[in-house]
């Protein structure tokens, strides 16, 4: 009975939890990357939070929109560790007893934490709005994901002076990209390209003063929020009313990886997101898209494309953000330099100065004066009857559009000029860039279980050991009176069932070189031996083709027959026989193996 209870108890310890859905997570519990099917789900079923595979063996703890259609990958609305995915093994999101919510990578590093502290019980739950909230039982919130947006704002999630929304790197790479939506120092909601080498603001249009765009710099409360009807309002008086703003729909405002902000609404019947508004209509005005030394231009079907400037080549073939680099060396010598005309091409920003009313030659010379001048832009304004000249030391945010009534003159060695005439063009394929999955090679912590695990292991071992002892005890008792353990009935008893196998050397040592003979029978000679743990045993040295049964062994001490020398010696002694009376009887004859317990 005791065995049964213990057995059931220890089984219960090892039965894995099979649930996949949690309404809340309490103190001391966790979600693991090894069971990504375990997720927290909002009570309306719209959002789930759990481990999301962002690559091979790479996971991020994320909140996603549960698509009813399943035809697309989940729409991620938040991520805890977008820049540091964790290993698929031994990584966990745990709510500690201290009230801190932590994400550990491979059982080793803490890659993210809520940094909260609470003595009272706390729970992690996913609100119907998609807000992951760590709250006390009274509903007081300690931490919420809405305060730490990634690339998306959900209805009721406020963008404040302390937060910013940052695009992801690409469609398949969820780590932080270069585009940020935030309130700038003038209280204006703005989009900035914060790139590899430069930072530049591109929305609202920097060439237009704020009041012309309907913005106000006077309200310093700096808050913007989207509602479920599709109204997005900001404290700088910027407002968006989506076309379908009379309908209560699932919506999101996302800073997409291409640098545009879009307002999406969920089309239930189609099972897709539809764009109900976007900030920028002319995508080439988004800074950074093509990187330095390149030109963005519009194409009819696919939107836009990037091209390197003539005699420049791509720096990174997978990523346009790195732009292009020069194939030639520029000499400081004025006589060596010439200029190549590129019509209707503008490079925004990074001029040394802007000169009004310069002639073409004045402008050209102003560039030649500077060793690091790469080009100059010359734009004649017919209305004013004068020209604007800007020598450029950096070539960023280039784009070509017939609307631009100016030209760019690119500086290059005279020797290159004759052979150069066209712009190399490449299509910017926005749909399929860098789809290679992220592969993380991390070493796992081999065996350093934490305190709790250690105690559990010891407990399990203890229980297991106790169980084995009890089972053997009962088994020994049960078979005590059984007399018919004949060889005819017996099969093999695997060593795993509690018998111990001894080597010849061990037995030789126990019998002190087979010195004390206590019996002799048909099967072989029996010697007295003392095992390493102090127990006294009868050890039989078997002869060839021995099929000796129990009775023969028992009769051994009384038999005196001479035997041929042994050909094989092995022995198994039951190691758990607790009482001499029981063990003396319990021997299972095995082919060429004899087990015996005696004290
Ligand atoms: C969670 O949602 C409920 C209603 O759905 C709301 O009353 C509560 O304030 C929300 N809590 C937080 C922290 O957003
Ligand atoms: C903001 O917009 C409202 C109407 O939409 C207008 O009455 C108000 O004057 C604007 N504020 C500023 C500072 O422009
Ligand atoms: C959205 O904003 C417009 C203009 O501010 C307003 O007329 C409309 O009532 C708003 N809709 C909702 C649902 O709040
Ligand atoms: C500033 O913006 C907030 C949020 O939009 C609004 O509630 C508040 O009335 C505005 N203040 C002024 C002085 O316009
Ligand atoms: C540019 O100059 C470097 C050394 O200053 C030289 O190694 C390289 O070959 C030059 N490149 C060209 C295209 O002339
Ligand atoms: C430009 O220069 C011309 C003569 O050089 C002068 O008449 C004109 O006033 C200047 N315009 C401006 C805007 O400085
Ligand atoms: C994703 O982007 C990050 C940041 O630029 C980069 O470090 C990482 O290597 C990228 N991952 C892949 C698979 O390209
Ligand atoms: C990861 O390991 C695999 C196989 O061990 C190897 O082929 C691959 O190059 C490794 N990747 C990195 C990034 O180390």
Q: Determine the Cα–Cα distance for residues 266 and 255; give it in Å rounded to an integer.
A: 17
Q: pLDDT, tens digit, for every residue of 169-203? A: 988 889 999 999 999 999 999 999 998 888 999 98
Q: How far is the CA of 235 from the centre of ligand 4 (A)?
A: 6
Give the per-residue pLDDT at 461: 58
In whole numbers, what is the pLDDT of the chain averaged over residues? Answer: 76
Give the per-residue pLDDT at 329: 87
Q: Which residue has the higher pLDDT, 113 or 508?
A: 113
pLDDT exceeding 90 applies to what percent of the chain? 35
**Which region among 13-27, 144-158, 258-272, 337-351 has the lowest average model confidence (pLDDT)?**
13-27
Q: How far is the CA of 357 from the centre of ligand 6 (A)?
A: 6
Q: Domain spanning 493-598 has what CATH number? A: 3.30.200.20
pLDDT band at 459 (very low <50, low <70, confident <90, very high): low
- Compute the half-sphere exposure of residue 239: CA atoms within 13 Å on the CB side of its CA: 8
- Residue identifier of the C-alpha nearest atom 4 of ligand 4: 235
Give the per-residue pLDDT at 55: 87
Q: How far is the CA of 594 from the centre of ligand 3 (A)?
A: 92
Q: CA of 115: how far to CAs of 78, 102, 147, in Å?
A: 18, 8, 14
Peptide bond into 204 cis (omega under 30): yes
The reply to whether 150-281 shares the fold of 24-148 is yes
Q: Are strands 75-79 and 39-41 parallel, antiparallel or unpaired?
A: unpaired
334 is in an annotated binding site: no
Give yes or no for a contact between 223 and 234, defined as CB atoms under 8 angstroms apart. Answer: yes
Q: pLDDT, tens digit, for every residue of 313-344? A: 999 888 888 899 998 888 888 888 889 888 88
Ligand 7: residues with CB < 6 A are 169, 173, 175, 434, 436, 438
Give the per-residue pLDDT at 395: 92
Give yes or no for a contact between 85 and 102, defined as CB atoms under 8 angstroms apart. Answer: no
Q: How far is the CA of 332 from the centre of ligand 5 (A)?
A: 14
Give yes or no for a contact between 75 and 67, defined as CB atoms under 8 angstroms apart. Answer: yes
Ligand 1: residues with CB < 6 A are 127-128, 131, 133, 141, 144
Q: Determine the Cα–Cα distance for residues 598 and 359; give it in Å rounded to an integer.
A: 115
Atom of ligand 7 nearest to the CA of 438: 13
**What mean pLDDT comes out for the span 438-465?**
52
Q: Which residue has the higher pLDDT, 574 or 425?
A: 425
Residue 175, C-beta contacts closer than 8 angstroms, at least 6 positions apart: 82, 83, 168, 169
71 pLDDT more than 60: no
Most confident of 58-62, 448-452, 486-490: 58-62
Atom of ligand 3 nearest to the CA of 239: 5
**CATH 3.50.4.10 matches 294-441:** yes
204 pLDDT more than 60: yes
**What mean pLDDT comes out for the span 411-419?**
81
Give the per-residue pLDDT at 460: 59
**What mean pLDDT comes out for the span 238-267?**
90
Helix, strand or coil, per DSSP, at residue 433: coil
Give the per-residue pLDDT at 454: 54
**Which region among 183-192, 235-244, 552-561 has the lowest average model confidence (pLDDT)?**
552-561
**What mean pLDDT comes out for the span 16-40?**
79
Of 161, 162, 158, residue with least CA distance to 225: 158
Q: Which ligand is nearest to the CA of 383?
A: 6
**What mean pLDDT comes out for the span 247-274?**
90
How many C-beta atoms surround the C-beta of residue 479 within 10 A?
Answer: 14
559 pLDDT more than 70: no
Q: Determine the Cα–Cα distance for residues 224 and 34; give it in Å rounded to an integer.
A: 38
Give the per-residue pLDDT at 365: 92
DSSP state of 351: B
pLDDT exceeding 70 applies to what percent of the chain? 70
pLDDT band at 21 (very low <50, low <70, confident <90, very high): low
**CATH 3.40.50.300 matches 150-281:** no
Q: Determine the Cα–Cα distance for residues 78 and 67; give it in Å rounded to an integer.
A: 15
Q: Domain spanning 24-148 has what CATH number? A: 2.90.10.10
Q: Which of 41, 127, 144, 147 to mutate to test the pocket of ligand 1 (most atoms within 8 A of CB)?
A: 127
Give yes or no for a contact between 189 and 183, defined as CB atoms under 8 angstroms apart. Answer: yes
pLDDT band at 123 (very low <50, low <70, confident <90, very high): very high
Give the per-residue pLDDT at 447: 41
| Predicted TM-score (pTM) above 0.75 | no
Q: CA of 359: how far to CAs of 195, 373, 587, in Å?
A: 35, 18, 113
Give yes or no for a contact between 475 and 499, defined as CB atoms under 8 angstroms apart. Answer: no
Of 197, 196, 199, 206, residue with least CA distance to 180: 199
> How do the domains of the chain map onto residue ranges?
24-148, 150-281, 294-441, 451-488, 493-598
Q: Is 45 exposed, middle or buried (0-12, 13-18, 19+ CB in 10 A)?
A: exposed
Of 238, 230, 281, 61, residue with least CA distance to 150: 61
**What mean pLDDT comes out for the span 23-36?**
90
Atom of ligand 2 nearest to the CA of 237: 1
Atom of ligand 8 nearest to the CA of 440: 13
90 pLDDT more than 50: yes
Give yes or no for a contact between 62 and 80, defined as CB atoms under 8 angstroms apart. Answer: yes
Q: Determine the Cα–Cα distance for residues 430 and 43; give it in Å rounded to an integer.
A: 36
Q: Determine the Cα–Cα distance for residues 105 and 128; give it in Å rounded to an integer.
A: 28
Give the per-residue pLDDT at 471: 63
pLDDT band at 246 (very low <50, low <70, confident <90, very high): confident
Atom of ligand 4 nearest to the CA of 233: 5
Q: How far is the CA of 557 from the centre of ligand 1 (A)?
A: 85
CA end-to-end span of the chain, whole Å?
A: 28
Q: Mark residue 368 as left, alpha or beta (left: phi above 0; alpha: psi -120 to 50; beta: remaining).
A: alpha
562 pLDDT more than 80: no
**Which region among 6-10, 154-158, 424-428 has the lowest average model confidence (pLDDT)?**
6-10
């Amino acid at each position: 009975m005791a065995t049964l209870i213990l057995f059931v108890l220890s089984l219960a310890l090892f039965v894995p939890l099979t649930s996949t859905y949690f309404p809340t997570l309490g103190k001391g519990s966790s979600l693991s990357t090894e069971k990504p099917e375990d997720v927290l789900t909002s009570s309306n079923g719209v959002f789930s939070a759990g481990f999301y595979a962002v690559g091979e063996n790479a996971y991020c703890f994320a909140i996603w929109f549960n698509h009813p259609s399943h035809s697309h990958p989940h729409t991620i609305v938040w991520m805890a560790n977008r820049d540091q995915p964790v290993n698929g093994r031994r990584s966990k999101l745990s709510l500690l007893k201290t009230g801190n919510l932590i994400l550990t990578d491979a059982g080793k590093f803490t890659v993210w934490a809520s940094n909260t502290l609470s003595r009272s019980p706390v729970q992690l739950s996913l609100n119907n709005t998609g807000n992951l909230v760590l709250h006390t039982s009274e509903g007081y919130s300690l931490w919420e994901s809405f305060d730490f947006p990634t690339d998306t704002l959900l209805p009721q999630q406020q963008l404040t002076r302390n937060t910013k929304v940052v695009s992801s790197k690409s469609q398949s790479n969820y780590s932080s990209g270069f585009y940020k939506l935030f309130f700038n120092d003038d209280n204006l909601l703005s989009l900035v390209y914060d790139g590899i080498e430069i930072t530049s603001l591109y929305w609202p249009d920097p060439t237009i003063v704020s009041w012309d765009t309907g913005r106000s710099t006077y309200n310093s409360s700096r808050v913007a929020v989207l509602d479920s009807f599709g109204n997005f309002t900001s404290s700088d008086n910027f407002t968006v009313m989506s076309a379908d703003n009379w309908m209560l729909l699932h919506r999101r405002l996302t800073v997409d990886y291409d640098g545009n902000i879009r307002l999406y609404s969920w089309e239930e019947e189609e099972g897709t997101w539809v764009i109900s508004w976007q900030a920028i209509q002319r995508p080439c005005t988004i800074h950074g898209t093509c990187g330095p030394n390149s030109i963005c231009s519009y194409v009819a079907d696919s939107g836009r494309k990037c091209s390197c400037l003539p005699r420049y080549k791509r720096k990174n073939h997978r990523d346009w953000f790195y732009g292009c680099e020069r194939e030639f060396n520029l000499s400081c010598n004025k006589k060596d330099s010439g200029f190549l005309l590129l019509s209707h091409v503008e490079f925004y920003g990074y001029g040394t100065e802007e000169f009004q009313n310069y002639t073409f030659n004045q402008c050209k010379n102003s560039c030649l004066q500077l060793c690091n001048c790469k080009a100059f832009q010359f734009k004649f304004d017919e209305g004013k009857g004068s020209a604007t000249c800007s020598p450029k030391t950096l070539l960023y945010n280039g784009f070509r559009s017939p609307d631009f009534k100016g030209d760019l003159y690119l500086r290059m060695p005279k020797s290159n000029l004759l052979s150069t005439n066209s712009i190399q063009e490449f299509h910017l394929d926005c749909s399929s860039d860098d789809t290679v999955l992220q592969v993380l090679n991390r070493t796992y912590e081999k065996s350093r279980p934490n305190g709790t695990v250690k105690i559990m292991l010891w407990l399990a071992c203890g229980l297991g050991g106790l169980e084995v002892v009890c089972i053997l005890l009962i088994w020994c008792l049960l078979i005590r009176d059984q007399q018919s353990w004949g060889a005819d009935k017996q099969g093999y008893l695997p060593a795993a069932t509690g018998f111990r196998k001894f080597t010849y050397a061990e037995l030789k040592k126990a019998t002190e070189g087979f010195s004390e003979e206590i019996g002799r029978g048909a099967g072989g000679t029996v010697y007295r031996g003392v095992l390493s743990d102090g127990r006294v045993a009868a050890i039989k040295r078997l002869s060839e083709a021995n099929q000796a049964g129990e009775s023969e062994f028992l009769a051994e001490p009384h038999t005196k027959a001479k035997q041929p020398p042994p050909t094989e010696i092995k022995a198994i002694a039951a190691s758990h026989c607790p009482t001499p009376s029981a063990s003396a009887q319990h021997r299972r004859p095995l082919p060429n193996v004899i087990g015996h317990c005696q004290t």
